[in-house]
């Protein structure tokens, strides 16, 4: 017991530090919208972006920002239109 608790604390500390980095890397690698935006930014800095591409990206980002927030739905939640029909 005297070894178990300190060892668990050390392993937990190590896991917390390494898992955060792994999760961030995985999220970054599987994010196509973020990749598109970073690539656009790099091309913009390098001067490879046309005015039409700038306008297109601006419209795209504004469209995303104007979307209303959608509440998270659990897998067991019924669709909203079904709950409205019951009333």
8-42: pLDDT as tens digits: 889 888 888 888 777 878 887 888 888 888 899 99
- The reply to whether 43 falls in a domain is yes
CA distance 50 to 75: 44
- The reply to whether 8 falls in a domain is no
- The reply to whether 45 falls in a domain is yes
* Residue that wins the pLDDT comparison between 16 and 75: 16
- The reply to whether 85 falls in a domain is no
- The reply to whether 7 falls in a domain is no
CA distance 37 to 31: 10
Which tokens in the block code for residue 33? 């919208």
Q: For residue 52, give its domain range.
A: 18-62
* pTM tops 0.95, yes or no: no
Domain count, the chain: 1
């Amino acid at each position: 017991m005297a070894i178990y608790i300190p060892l668990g604390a050390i392993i937990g500390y190590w896991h917390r530090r390494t898992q955060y980095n792994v999760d961030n890397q995985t999220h970054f690698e599987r994010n196509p919208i973020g990749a598109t935006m970073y690539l656009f930014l790099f091309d913009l800095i390098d001067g490879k972006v046309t005015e039409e591409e700038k306008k297109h990206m601006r419209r795209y980002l504004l469209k995303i920002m104007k979307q209303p927030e959608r509440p998270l739905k659990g897998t067991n939640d019924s669709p909203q239109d079904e709950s409205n029909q019951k009333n």
